[in-house]
Amino acid sequence: MPEEIANSVEAIEVEAEKMLEEARTRANEILLEAREEARKILSSPLPLDAVKTEYDRIVNMARAEADEKIRDSGKKAVEISTNADKKAREITELMINIVTGKR
């Protein structure tokens, strides 16, 4: 019985080693195919129309974002200016009231 178990274990080990070697071989084949495909892709001319379209899309997005930020900054500048004028009037009134004794 122990001899049968040992033989079974050996058979399993042999089969596992065979499967592992087949997997390694297939992995190497896949890597070679991938390298060849990458080489083909890298050596092929770029589709300039697609590149130009993507370039234009990116530039347009950047311009739109910049325009939005400019609008937001303008709104904030108006708010700050309005608040500054209001504060200046309040301080002026307070100073006049102090000088004239109305406070």
Task: Retrieve residue 94's tokens.
Answer: 């307070």
Q: Determine the distance from the C-alpha atom of residue 83 to the mean position of all C-alpha atoms in its chain, rounded to a whole number.
A: 39
**Can you tell me the distance from the alpha carbon of 103 to that of 97, in angstroms, rounded to the nearest whole number?**
5
Whose tokens are 């910049």? That residue is 66
pLDDT computed for residue 2 by the predictor: 65
CA contacts within 13 A on the Cβ side of 29: 6
Task: Retrieve residue 100's tokens.
Answer: 């004239």
Of 28, 53, 2, the C-alpha closest to 10 is 2
Which pLDDT tens digit goes with each residue over 44-58? 777 778 888 888 999
- pLDDT tens for each residue of the chain, 103 residues long: 667 766 777 778 878 888 888 888 888 888 888 888 888 877 877 777 888 888 899 999 999 999 899 988 888 888 888 888 788 888 888 888 888 888 6
Whose tokens are 């042999």? That residue is 14
Residue 44: phi and psi, rounded to 5, are -80, 150
How high does pLDDT run on average in the chain?
Answer: 83
